[in-house]
């Protein structure tokens, strides 16, 4: 979901950098303030192994990521809403694996920028996903009452820090540090629904380019038009690099951090596909970064969304699979190799109905389901919704359970569903029907 009108994007606090420390040590290193907790605590392997139906768990380091301390994320704070399922994904850094579709796509985008603008763009792909509310939201002018700031949409560590919900969270700080051409790639986190294209962790790439008066003055057009034209040319070139000669269209839209703002769509496999959001950076962001005489453009794109189309990957959960039948199909530098499903295991559907209360949200329900079923939860779909004469509202959700890797037994699904029913009742305070 784009942080547009419907869903904001965010960033906060003095940014933290992840350092990949050869084997055992890895830290969240604060950028400018002293480290809160840089201890290299081990992953909660007991929690990771708790659910016997999850795919075999290897440590983040074995898988090629970095380690983030549990105490840096799972705080005993009333605002903390980060579950184990999310903590276990932190530091996985799929975008830094050259053989993984997300890493292959990132490298292909780098290739485009390196060819079109040799030695121009600084690349960051190891910035810590723990950011301040200020970085995530305030610095990119997300309004105080924007829905994306809510606990329902964003993972809060405490009242001042969050798991970044977009890579735009790093824009302001990098501008302040003097970078004028940069690409930021990273994992981002959003509380969300469950279906084949939504997962609470995904990857984005942000691009920013700053211009000086010299750049536009000779052109005869105003600074904003100059930046917008350059932006469109750059991104059309990128779309051609990734998708070949495709038809494209620009849609006017809204983002808090750009004006004008656009979305790029391409016509691919007989459908219009939204590729990215972008625009001319709000002058206020540049001003606060000490760049009053400049103009800039910025874009943000979701890597999973594009990789699903380019590699024919039918379900977003597959990106997290360590099953060799998935991982062995991709190699470094091979963009767009079509994924061959190794087998399709049957889904199992279970319905759950309850009277909702005022605080009920679908995101909270999905969090409960993911907490119990993990990646076995394929979809949670509202199939019935009515309000009776007394004003009580009932929802019925159909949960699809399916493993990407094997057949599930009736017994295990029944146990999952039983636990879901129990926790939906106890954690969400709704009345089962
Ligand atoms: N941050 C936006 C999102 O997550 C994407 C985006 C849109 C980034 C426009 C940008 C931009 O830098 O200019 O939905």
pLDDT band of 282, cuts 50, 70, 90: very high
> From the CB of 303, is ligand 1 less than 6 Å away?
no
> From the CB of 277, is ligand 1 less than 6 Å away?
yes
Taking only Cα atoms into account, the Rg of the chain, rounded to an integer number of angstroms, comes to 22
pLDDT band of 40, cuts 50, 70, 90: very low
Ligand 1 atom nearest the C-alpha of 165 is 4
pLDDT band of 182, cuts 50, 70, 90: very high
pLDDT in tens, 299-323: 999 999 999 999 999 999 999 999 9
Separation between Cα atoms, residue 204 and residue 151, nearest integer Å: 21
Q: Residues, the chain, total?
A: 433
Tokens 């979809």, located at residue: 379
Separation between Cα atoms, residue 91 and residue 93, nearest integer Å: 5
| Three state DSSP letters for 85-131 | HHHCCCCCCHHHCCCCHHHHHHHHHHHHHHHHCCCCCEEECCECCEE
Mutate which of 238, 277, 298 for ligand 1? The one with the most ligand atoms within 8 Å of its CB, which is 277
More confident residue, 432 or 270: 432
pLDDT at 394 over 80: yes
Those residues whose C-beta lies under 8 Å from the C-beta of residue 6, and which sit 6 or more positions away, are: 147
Separation between Cα atoms, residue 307 and residue 330, nearest integer Å: 12
pLDDT in tens, 46-72: 333 333 333 445 667 776 677 888 989
> From the CB of 285, is ligand 1 less than 6 Å away?
no
d(CA 251, ligand 1 centre) in Å:
14
pLDDT band of 8, cuts 50, 70, 90: very low
Q: Dihedral angle at the C-alpha atoms of 95, 101, 104, 109, nearest 10 degrees?
A: -80
3-state secondary structure of 60: coil
pLDDT band of 16, cuts 50, 70, 90: very low
Instruction: Tell me the average pLDDT of the chain.
Output: 87
What does DSSP say about strands 295-302 and 271-281: parallel, antiparallel, or unpaired? antiparallel
Angle between helices 362-373 and 410-428 (to 10 degrees): 140
pLDDT at 81 over 70: yes
pLDDT at 255 over 80: yes
> From the CB of 129, is ligand 1 less than 6 Å away?
no
The pTM score is 0.86
Separation between Cα atoms, residue 74 and residue 88, nearest integer Å: 11
> From the CB of 206, is ligand 1 less than 6 Å away?
yes
Separation between Cα atoms, residue 405 and residue 53, nearest integer Å: 11
Those residues whose C-beta lies under 8 Å from the C-beta of residue 390, and which sit 6 or more positions away, are: none
User: CB of 346 within 8 A of CB of 328?
Assistant: no
Ligand 1: which residue has its CA nearest to atom 6? 300
Mean pLDDT of 3-18: 31
Kindly tell me the burial class for residue 293, based on how many C-beta atoms sit within 10 Å of its own C-beta (0-12, 13-18, 19 or more): exposed
Q: State residue 344's pLDDT score.
A: 86
């Amino acid at each position: 979901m784009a942080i547009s009108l419907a869903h904001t994007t965010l960033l906060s606090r003095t940014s933290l950098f992840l350092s990949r420390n050869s084997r055992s040590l890895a830290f969240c290193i604060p950028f400018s303030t002293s480290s809160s907790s840089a201890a290299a605590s081990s992953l909660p392997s007991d929690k990771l192994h708790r659910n016997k139906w999850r795919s075999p768990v290897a440590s983040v380091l074995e898988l090629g990521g970095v380690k983030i301390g549990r105490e840096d994320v799972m705080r005993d704070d009333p605002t903390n809403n980060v579950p184990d399922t999310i903590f276990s994904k932190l530091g996985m850094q799929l975008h830094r694996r050259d053989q993984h579709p997300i890493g292959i796509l990132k490298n292909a985008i780098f290739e485009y920028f390196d060819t079109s603008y040799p030695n121009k763009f600084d690349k960051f792909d190891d910035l810590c996903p723990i950011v301040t509310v200020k970085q995530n939201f305030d610095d990119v002018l997300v309004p105080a009452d924007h829905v994306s700031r809510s606990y329902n949409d964003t993972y809060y560590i405490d009242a001042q820090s969050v798991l970044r919900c977009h890579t735009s969270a790093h824009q302001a700080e990098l501008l302040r540090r003097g970078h004028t051409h940069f690409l930021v790639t990273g994992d981002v986190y959003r509380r969300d629904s469950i279906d084949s294209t939504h997962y609470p962790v995904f990857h984005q790439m942000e691009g920013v380019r700053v211009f000086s008066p010299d750049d536009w003055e000779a052109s005869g057009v105003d600074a904003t038009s100059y930046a917008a034209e350059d932006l469109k040319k750059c991104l059309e070139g990128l779309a051609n690099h990734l998708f070949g000669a495709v038809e494209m269209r620009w849609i006017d839209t809204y983002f808090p951090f750009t004006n004008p703002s656009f979305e790029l769509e391409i016509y691919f496999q007989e459908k219009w596909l939204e590729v990215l959001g972008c625009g001319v950076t709000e002058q206020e962001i540049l001003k606060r970064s000490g760049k009053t005489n400049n103009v800039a453009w910025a874009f943000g794109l979701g890597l999973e969304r594009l990789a699903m189309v380019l590699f024919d990957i039918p379900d977003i959960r597959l990106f997290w699979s360590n099953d060799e039948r998935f991982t062995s199909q991709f190699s470094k530098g091979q963009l767009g190799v079509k994924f061959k499903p190794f087998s399709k295991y049957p889904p199992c559907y279970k319905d759950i109905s309850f009277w909702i209360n005022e605080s009920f949200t679908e995101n909270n329900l999905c969090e409960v389901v993911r907490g119990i079923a993990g990646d076995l939860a394929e979809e949670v779909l509202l199939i019935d919704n009515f309000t009776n004469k007394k004003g009580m509202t009932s929802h019925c959700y159909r949960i699809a359970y399916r493993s990407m890797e094997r057949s599930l037994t009736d017994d295990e699904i029944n146990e999952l569903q039983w636990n879901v029913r129990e926790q939906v009742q106890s954690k969400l305070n709704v009345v089962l029907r």
